[in-house]
Amino acid sequence: SDCLQSSDLTRTDFLVDTDYFMAVAVLSAQRSKDPNTQVGACLVNQDNKIVGTGHNCMPNDCEGKLPWNREGAKLDTKYIYVCHAELNAIVNASANADVKGCTMYVTLFPCNECTKLIIQAGLKEVVYLCDKYHKTPETKASKKMLDMAGILEYERFDSIKSDKNISVRCAWEENFFYSEKNHKLPSKHRVHNDVMGNSQTNSQILPLTAAAHLHHGKPPPALQVKIEQQDR
């Protein structure tokens, strides 16, 4: 009966693994100096251990010497210099762990270059928060390669557990992270289905929102959540 009593005390509103790992990715993005889009990534192995994190930044020793512009001549923009969050998570991880079979939690859908890294490094899953560039050729190329890299299922949280498969689980549609410039608060609450498929109101996914806005000191926005299910 002691055992029964202690189990009654088990906390129920703990942070589930998926939210924790994505919260680590969201917080890693806080280290980004990109004025427009801060991206964070968290690499988790098959034992559910974090083996690497990363954020978008300029290459080592180049910080402060390269532009963060989005417009202008290619050499004057950030795009040809910046190291993506996923690249940093994989590089930081491979220093001390084999990343084969890992899951990449990333706040922004991987671009085509990161997808090549993800596939070649043998990752098996990608969980992303936002897909704001889904109309770009880079993201379309990503989805094409992720699909070819096994049987890619864009399924809401239902990942296909297999060595060959890379399943992309859509977590959030809206860019969870708002840069000051284009800060926008989603208009309304939406019901959010958690990993187990239970519907939660946005207030129940507050920990992740709160973690993301922790350092902003702002009240977490009512997260507009749209879980997208795409056919292959």
Ligand X SMILES: Nc1ccn([C@H]2C[C@H](O)[C@@H](COP(=O)(O)O)O2)c(=O)n1
Residues that bind ligand X (CB under 6 A): 34, 36-37, 39, 56, 70, 78, 82, 84-86, 108, 110-111, 114
Would you say how long the chain is, in residues?
A: 232
Whether 180 is catalytic is no
Q: How far is the CB of 149 from ligand X (least distance, A)?
A: 16
Q: What is the rounded distance in angstroms from the CA atom of residue 126 to the CA atom of residue 212?
A: 20
Q: Which of 86, 153, 173, 174 is catalytic?
A: 86
Q: What is the rounded distance in angstroms from the CA atom of residue 212 to the CA atom of residue 231?
A: 30
Q: How far is the CB of 80 from ligand X (least distance, A)?
A: 11
- Of the pair 56, 202, the CB lying nearest ligand X is at 56
Please report how many Cα atoms fall inside a 13 Å half-sphere around the Cα of residue 57, on the Cβ side: 20
- Of the pair 11, 181, the CB lying nearest ligand X is at 181
- Whether the CB-CB separation of 121 and 87 falls below 8 Å is answered with no
Q: How far is the CB of 42 from ligand X (least distance, A)?
A: 13
Q: How far is the CB of 179 from ligand X (least distance, A)?
A: 8
Q: What is the rounded distance in angstroms from the CA atom of residue 201 to the CA atom of residue 185?
A: 17
- Of the pair 44, 129, the CB lying nearest ligand X is at 129
Mind telling me the catalytic residues?
86
